[in-house]
Amino acid sequence: MAFNILIVDDSPAMRKVVRRVVDLSGFEIGKYLEAGDGVEALTVLRQEWVDLIVTDINMPEMDGEQLLIEVRKDSLLQNIPVLVVSTDQTATRIEGMMANGASGYISKPFMPAALSEQMSRLLGVTSDAGF
Amino acid sequence: MQASDFSPILAECCAEVLDAMYFATVTNTTHREATPPSPEPDTLAFQLRFQGDIEGSFGLSLSLATARTLASNFLGDDEDALSTEEIVQVAGELSNMLCGSIVSRIGGTKRFALSHPEPCTAATIFPFGLVSALETDYGTLNTWVAVHSTDNVASNEDAPVLQVAH
């Protein structure tokens, strides 16, 4: 089964790193979809089938927290797993995002294997990453 | 807590970020309370502000050559294949990650939001802070951090407070 993954981050460099980790994880990917903020992400989500959202928090226009809230209250989108990747390592923020319905949370900096493991769990497949 | 007491947190966070995502090792760190060095030619410099329960500023400067190598490590691309735009993006992301890591550590459970990394010049650099020179195997990175609002942080018993002049 090929997965469509939506990577949401205002940093193109960070989107590229996440994509690289996905590549190295050996997941079968149908489409890589990218967005620079929550507004762009919602536009993509209403046009494309998405199996996993990987999102930053701190972004212009609509941040990752609001994106998560919007996804969880939309009956068509609410079952998509959302993995948060953020520089904010505070317990308050992590607990808040999980309470809002995040499926996982990775703090930056992260080891590639940690991100791969979380994606593997959320996609329900085994990673053959050689990190 | 004085700025000098805060330096171990900064050194630890920077070493962690550089090791985990940029495959760079910090070999030596020196700190001083001073005006940050003005960005020089062929230097990339960024500043961010953090706001919320803890407020202040963070800055990073590094040579273009160091930034190029770190970008190569971060993206997994050859240095020659990188555009200037990509190098600038990666340096900006580095400043974002360093700032987030440091503020998370000093802020304890406090909530904060980071501004986006903005290129800075001698004219926009903030005037005082804890300035740290991080020597790595790919060159030296200068960082500077100041916490402008300490009232809220002081209410958190777990969080050290950096006292700086305004």
Residue B153 lies in a domain: no
Residue B53 lies in a domain: yes
Phi, psi of A32 (to 5 degrees): -95, 125
Name the residue facing B104 among A11, A88, A96 (closest C-beta): A88
Q: Tokens representing A7?
A: 């990577």
Q: Which chain A positions have a beta carbon within 8 Å of B58's beta carbon?
A: none
Question: Where residue B17 sits, what CATH number does that domain have?
Answer: 3.40.1550.10
Residue B165 lies in a domain: no
Tell me which long-range contacts A92-97 makes (C-beta under 8 A, separation of at least 24).
A92/B109, A92/B110, A92/B111, A93/A57, A93/B111, A96/A65, A96/B111, A97/A57, A97/A64, A97/A65, A97/A68
Residue B151 lies in a domain: no
Distance from CA of B161 to the nearest CA of A (A): 16
Nearest of B150, B159, B160, B131 to residue B45 by alpha carbon: B131
Amino acid at site A16? K
Residue B37 lies in a domain: yes
Count of structural domains, chain B: 1
The residue of chain A with its CA nearest to that of B91 is A13
Q: Which CATH architecture has domain A3-123?
A: 3-Layer(aba) Sandwich (3.40)
Contact at 8 Å (CB) between A1 and A28?
A: yes
Instruction: Tell me whether A110 touches chain B (CB under 8 Å).
Output: yes
pLDDT digits (tens), chain B, 166 positions: 555 567 788 888 999 999 999 999 999 888 877 766 666 778 899 999 888 888 888 899 899 999 999 999 999 999 999 999 999 999 999 999 999 898 888 876 677 888 888 888 766 766 667 788 889 999 999 888 888 765 544 333 333 333 333 3
Q: Please report which confidence band the pLDDT of residue A106 belongs to, taking 50, 70 and 90 as the band edges.
A: very high
Q: Tokens representing A34?
A: 């990218």
> What are the domain boundaries of chain A?
3-123
- Cα-based torsion angle of the residue sequence B144, B97, A107, B116 in order, rounded to the nearest 10 degrees: 110
Mutate to test the interface with B, among A21, A107, A108 (most CBs of B within 10 A): A108
Give the single-character DSSP code of B79.
G
Q: Which of residues 14-33 of A touch B (CB under 8 A)?
A: 14, 16-17, 20
Name the residue facing A13 among B20, B93, B116 (closest C-beta): B93
Coil/strand/helix, residue B148:
strand
DSSP A61-126: SS-HHHHHHHHHT-TTTTTS-EEEEES---HHHHHHHHHTT-SEEEESS--HHHHHHHHHHHHTS-
Residue B163 lies in a domain: no
Beta bridge partners of A31: A4
The per-residue pLDDT for range A44-68, each reduced to its tens digit, is: 999 999 999 999 998 889 999 999 9
Cα gap B48→A20, rounded to integer Å: 27
Q: How many CB pairs under 8 A join A and B?
A: 72
Q: B86 lies in which domain range?
A: 3-138
Cα gap B82→A42, rounded to integer Å: 31
Name the residue facing A88 among B100, B108, B116 (closest C-beta): B100
Q: Which of residues 39-68 of B touch A (CB under 8 A)?
A: none
Pairing between β-strand B55-63 and β-strand B139-149 as defined by DSSP bridges: antiparallel
Would you say the ipTM is above 0.90?
A: no
Residue B166 lies in a domain: no
Residue B158 lies in a domain: no
